Amino acid sequence: MGSRSAMQLAILSLSLFVSGVFSAFGYTTSGNNFIIDAGSANTLVFSVSKSSCDINSIKYRGTELQYGSQGTHIGSGLGTATVSVSQITGTSKYIKITCVTSTLTQYMVVKESDSTIYMGTYITAQPSIGELRFIARLLPAQLPGEYPYGDVSNTNGASSAVEGSDVYLVNGQTRSKFFSSTRFIDEDSHCVYGGSDLIHVCIVTPQQESSSGGPFFRDIDSNNAGASTNLYNYMNSGHVQTEAYRMGLHGPYLMTFSRSGIPTLKSFSDMSWFGELGITGYVAASGRGTVSGTASGVQSGMQGVVHWYNSAAQYWAKTSSNGAFTSPLMKPGTYTMVLYQTEFKIATSSVSVSAGKTTTANIASTYSTTRKSLFKIGEYDGQPTGFRNADKFLRMHPSDSRMGSWAPLTYTVGSSSLSDFPMAVFQSANSPVTIKFNLASAPGAATLRIATTLSFAGSRPQATVNGWTGPAPSAPTKIDSRGVTRGAYRGNGEVYDVSIALGKLVAGTNTITISSLSGSSGDTFLSPNFIFDCVELYTGS
């Protein structure tokens, strides 16, 4: 038998390490890779490129899970990075991989006997590689399933593209990776799974303080794209971006491997040991403070949510049944403090947080309820709750055959169902929506309030009352992103008030139409559009 080349020996060495033959906790090198062994009973072994920081092999219980031609990495790959590895002993034993570029440092940490890769991403600028995301590219043959939303983002076997390169038709249903998203405030774990051992690979995000968008922001979690099954943690993206990106440490977040089912966020709530590792940007509990108080004025039946944010961080907490709240541990600083009923903003204030202290700050709704409502369609909850197709659009495209008809609808106050009112008005699909109602007597001057959640292509509501056209509202702040066609509804939440002069409303039958006004144009569901929150006609203030 002839001598083997250096390349052949390197490949053989790598295959032995990655196969799990060496099960002791630690790391070694093989060619251009660091080989990390978690030393766990379940045996997680993975390899990291010394030159790019790509994870290029992941074996769990001896099964290869990594997709072959593309790595698991930040963005679409760092390309080149200075990669180092060290072993640290603290309250546990750790292996820390550090990948450094000019504006980004990626940390990957393994604890002894724990089949989890703990991560943190520190940035001083939005990376030139594009969106700030972690993406694991895994083998669909081993991990075909997705949790918690099943096949809504499985584009494997697509027959055609419905929109761009991210919404497809599969077996007569629209599918997109965007349909896998969950509001930050609801995030627990999202997973891909499969195989005879029913392996689960899950992303858990205990800390989202450096992301953008607030508690109701949603972004891509997973998708089976056929060639690879993809599992994500999006940190900064342009997907319905409503505020500037935040710099600093994103995380900790983690990718965990198990056969024992789906892990919960609660299982990883104590990440204080991250402070033992010299992670740039990590702020320990001792360097943080909290805010507690009582929120009042939230409409009965709605969830109160308190949100704190500044240019460096964001936090949130749900209120209890009596309005009490306590924030998560927060970095010191001055924050804007917002109270929502479900997702509708009803109060804003300011609060300062100091390390090691709890600040008391109550907050009360400033949203007036003294007006006399002539009719109200929907509720002020910051969502298109109850309107037609609002029960479907998060997980399917507006063109999907399972959707109810969008084509221009007429809603009659007192007899129509809430689902007879569209959740959105598209300039080229279903504009205008018509509202018919009866008044026992002419009310004099009144106000038509149209609360919206998101606008696309400058769209805003133009109201006509019994043939009288109200003033054209100014264009909303532009959000440079598609919205409802990718299952999004959360934007800047504009509220438009139309002042209706004396004599415009009459005793008997009245008609209001609401159409999409925009200087832009587009085809069908990519035409200018806006999403409804609530429509109310009232007198008083």
> Count of CB atoms within 10 A of residue 79's CB?
14
Residue 260: per-residue pLDDT? 81
Q: Which two tokens stand for residue 23?
A: 């099960």
Q: Among residues 310, 329, 327, 331, which one has the least CA distance to residue 318?
A: 327
Which residue do the tokens 């917002």 mark? 338
- For 16, the enclosing helix (H) or strand (E) is helix 6-18
Query: Which CATH code, of 3.20.20.150, 3.10.580.10, 3.40.640.10, 2.60.120.260, is assigned to 372-539?
Result: 2.60.120.260
Q: Which two tokens stand for residue 537?
A: 């006609």
Amino acid at 316: W
Question: What is the number of alpha carbons within 13 Å of residue 358 lying toward its C-beta?
Answer: 8
Residue 23: per-residue pLDDT? 66
Domain boundaries 6-276, corresponding CATH code: 2.70.98.10
Phi, psi (rounded to 5 degrees) for 311: -70, -15
Q: Where in the chain is the domain with CATH 2.60.120.260?
A: 372-539
Do residues 252 and 271 make contact, with C-beta atoms less than 8 angstroms apart? yes
Burial class (CB in 10 A: 0-12, 13-18, 19+), 436: middle
DSSP string, 201-218: EEEE-S--TTSSS-TT-E
Residues in the chain: 541
Taking the CA atoms of the chain, what radius of gyration do you get in angstroms?
A: 26
Q: Distance between CA atoms of 231 and 23, rounded to whole angstroms?
A: 26
Q: b or e along 57-72 (b: 16 or more beta carbons within 10 Å of the residue's beta carbon)?
A: bbbbbebebbbeebbb
Q: Distance between CA atoms of 180 and 475, rounded to whole angstroms?
A: 31
DSSP string, 258-310: ESS----GGGG---GGGGGTT-TT---GGG-BEEEEEEE-PPTTS-EEEEEE-
Q: Where in the chain is the domain with CATH 2.70.98.10?
A: 6-276
Strands 468-469, 304-309: pairing is unpaired
Assign 146 to helix, strand or coil: strand
Going along 313-389, which residue ranges are E strands? 314-318, 324-326, 333-341, 344-353, 358-360, 363-364, 372-378
Residue 18: per-residue pLDDT? 41
Strands 508-517, 363-364: pairing is unpaired
Give first-to-last CA distance, the chain, whole Å: 93
Which residues, at least 6 apart from 379, have a Cβ–Cβ distance to it below 8 Å?
299, 302, 385, 386, 534
CATH 2.60.40.1120 assigned to domain 288-364? The reply is yes
Going along 379-476, which residue ranges are E strands? 410-412, 424-426, 433-439, 446-456, 460-465, 468-469
Which residues, at least 6 apart from 290, have a Cβ–Cβ distance to it below 8 Å?
326, 327, 328, 329, 330, 353, 357, 358, 359
> Count of CB atoms within 10 A of residue 291's CB?
24
Phi, psi (rounded to 5 degrees) for 107: -110, 135
Q: Among residues 449, 468, 466, which one has the least CA distance to residue 507?
A: 466
Which residue do the tokens 């790509």 mark? 54
Q: Which portions of the chain are predicted below pLDDT 50?
A: 1-22
Q: Where in the chain is the domain with CATH 2.60.40.1120?
A: 288-364
Q: Distance between CA atoms of 289 and 331, rounded to whole angstroms?
A: 7
- List the beta bridge partners of residue 433: 514
